[in-house]
C-alpha cells in the first residue's frame, strides 16, 4: 500500500467541489446510460444510476443498437456473464459510440477466468474505451494478457499491487484505468490519484464493483473531456455513500439498501466535507 510520504492530500475544497459538481450535474441532466452488463449486476446497477439521478437502460440486443445507442450520453460494457451471443452487441455499441463521439466504459469482470473472456476484453480494448475499471487482479490479467489464478470476480490482489501495470495499460490503450480496492486508484499513465472513501463491507455486496462502474459512466457522461476527474469523483462519491449507509446498516443486505438511499440523499455539505481524495506520487 502507499505510504504516508508517497501520497499527499490535495486541496479538499477542490476535490469536494469537483465531486459535488459532477453529482449535482448528473441529477440536473439525468444522462441516459446504456448498460450492456451481466445478469447479476443489472438490478443494483440500475438502482445506483437512478439514485444518482441518471437514467439507466439495459439494452443489449444487437438489433436495437443502431436505433437506440445514438440517443445515449454514455455506454457501459460489463463482461461478467459473457456469452458469444452478447459480444457482437458489445462491439457494435462500442463502435457506434466511438463514431458518435460518446464516451464508453469497460468493466472486464473476471477477465482472468478464461481465454475466451480475456480475448473478448482485449478485442474490446482495441475499440478504445474511455475508462477501464477493474479490481487489482483484473487489471493485472489485462496488462499481462494472460489468464491465471482466479476467484471469479473477486480480487486476489490489492489495488496498489496493480498500480504500475495500470499505468502501462493506460499508456498502451489510451484509456483512463481505474482500480478498485481498499483504496481506489485512477491513472492516465502519468497521474495517479487515490479515492479513500468506502467501507470494507461493501465487498460483501454482489455487483458493488459493477455498480461503481455504472456511476463512473454517468459522471463521464457529464464531462467526457475530463474523464480522469470524473472517474476519481465517482469512486469517492460511491464510497462516501457506503460510509453514510454503513452508519445505519446491520450487514451486507441492509448496507445494500442504505447505500442506494445514501447516494440518493447525499447533499453538498456531506460531499464537500467528507470526500477523501489524494494524489499519489
pLDDT tens column, 163-181: 999 999 999 999 999 999 9
pLDDT at 210: 95
Say what the pTM is.
Answer: 0.92
The answer to whether the Cα torsion of 139, 144, 149, 152 is positive or negative is positive
Q: What is the pLDDT of residues 40-58, one digit of tens each?
A: 999 999 999 999 999 999 9
Query: What's the rounded mean pLDDT across residues 118-123?
Result: 95
Q: And the C-alpha cell for 198?
A: 468506502
Q: How far from 1 is each of 13, 16, 53, 270, CA to CA, in Å?
A: 25, 24, 34, 27
pLDDT band (50, 70, 90) for residue 13: low
Structural domain contains residue 196 = yes
Q: How many domains does the chain have?
A: 1
Write the Ramachandran bin of 161: left for phi over 0, alpha for psi from -120 to 50, otherwise beta: alpha
pLDDT tens column, 64-114: 999 999 999 999 999 999 999 999 999 999 999 999 999 999 999 989 889
Residue 86 and residue 117 in contact, taking contact as beta carbons nearer than 8 Å: no
Q: What is the average pLDDT across 250-279? A: 96
Mean pLDDT of 152-162: 60
Residue 277: closest CA among 245, 235, 223, 242: 235
User: Does residue 73 form part of some domain?
Assistant: yes
- The mean pLDDT of 197-217, rounded to a whole number, is 95
User: What CATH number does residue 169 fall under?
Assistant: 3.40.1190.20
Instruction: Judge whether 193 lies within some domain.
Output: yes
Residue 209 contacts residue 153 (beta carbons within 8 Å): yes
Question: Among candidates 207, 204, 209, 160, which has minimal Cα distance to 185?
Answer: 160
Mean of pLDDT over the chain: 91
209 within a domain of the structure (yes/no):
yes
Asked which of 57-61, 157-161, 268-272 is least confident by mean pLDDT, the reply is 157-161
2 part of a folded domain: no
Distance between CA 87 and CA 109 in Å, rounded?
14
pLDDT above 60: residue 12: no
Q: In the predicted model, is pLDDT for residue 244 greater than 70? A: yes
The whole domain housing 148 covers: 7-280
Query: How far is it, in rounded angstroms, from Cα 65 to Cα 46?
Result: 19
Q: Is residue 1 part of a domain?
A: no
For the beta sheet containing 192-195, the strands, ordered from the edge strand earlier in sequence to the opposite edge, are: 7-9, 277-280, 192-195, 184-187, 176-180, 131-135, 104-107, 74-78, 32-36, 55-57
Q: Can you tell me the mean pLDDT for 262-275?
A: 97
pLDDT at 2: 43
The whole-number average pLDDT for the span 183-207 is 94
Confidence of residue 279 (pLDDT cuts 50, 70, 90): confident
Residue 236 has pLDDT above 50, yes or no: yes
* pLDDT single digits (tens) 137-150: 899 989 887 655 44
pLDDT mean over 263-274: 97
* DSSP assignment letter at 108: -
Amino acid at each position: 500500500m502507499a505510504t504516508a510520504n508517497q501520497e499527499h492530500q490535495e486541496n479538499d475544497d477542490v476535490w469536494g467541489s469537483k465531486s459535488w459538481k459532477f453529482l449535482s450535474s448528473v441529477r440536473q441532466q439525468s444522462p441516459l446510460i446504456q448498460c450492456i452488463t451481466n445478469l447479476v449486476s443489472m438490478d443494483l446497477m440500475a438502482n445506483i444510476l437512478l439514485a444518482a439521478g441518471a437514467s439507466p437502460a439495459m439494452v443489449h440486443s444487437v438489433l436495437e443498437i443502431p436505433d437506440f445507442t445514438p440517443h445515449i450520453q454514455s455506454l457501459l460494457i460489463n463482461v461478467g456473464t459473457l456469452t458469444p451471443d452478447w459480444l457482437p452487441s458489445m462491439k457494435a455499441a462500442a463502435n457506434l459510440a466511438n463514431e458518435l463521439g460518446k464516451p464508453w466504459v469497460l468493466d472486464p469482470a473476471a477477465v482472468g477466468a478464461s481465454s475466451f473472456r480475456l480475448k473478448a476484453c482485449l478485442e474490446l480494448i482495441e475499440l478504445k474505451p474511455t475508462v477501464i475499471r477493474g479490481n487489482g487482479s483484473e487489471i493485472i490479467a489485462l496488462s499481462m494478457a494472460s489468464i491465471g489464478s482466479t476467484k471469479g470476480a473477486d480480487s486476489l490482489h490489492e489495488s496498489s499491487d496493480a498500480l504500475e501495470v495500470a499505468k502501462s495499460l493506460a499508456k498502451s490503450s489510451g484509456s483512463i484505468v481505474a482500480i478498485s480496492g481498499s483504496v481506489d486508484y485512477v491513472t492516465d499513465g502519468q497521474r495517479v490519484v487515490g479515492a479513500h472513501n468506502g467501507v470494507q463491507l461493501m465487498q460483501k455486496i454482489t455487483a458493488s464493483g459493477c455498480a461503481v462502474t455504472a456511476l463512473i459512466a454517468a459522471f463521464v457522461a457529464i464531462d467526457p473531456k475530463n474523464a480522469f476527474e470524473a472517474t476519481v469523483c465517482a469512486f469517492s462519491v460511491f464510497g462516501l455513500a457506503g460510509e453514510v449507509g454503513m452508519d445505519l446498516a446491520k450487514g451486507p443486505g441492509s448496507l445494500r439498501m442504505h447505500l442506494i438511499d445514501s447516494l440518493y440523499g447525499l447533499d453538498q455539505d456531506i460531499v464537500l466535507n467528507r470526500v477523501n481524495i489524494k494524489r499519489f506520487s
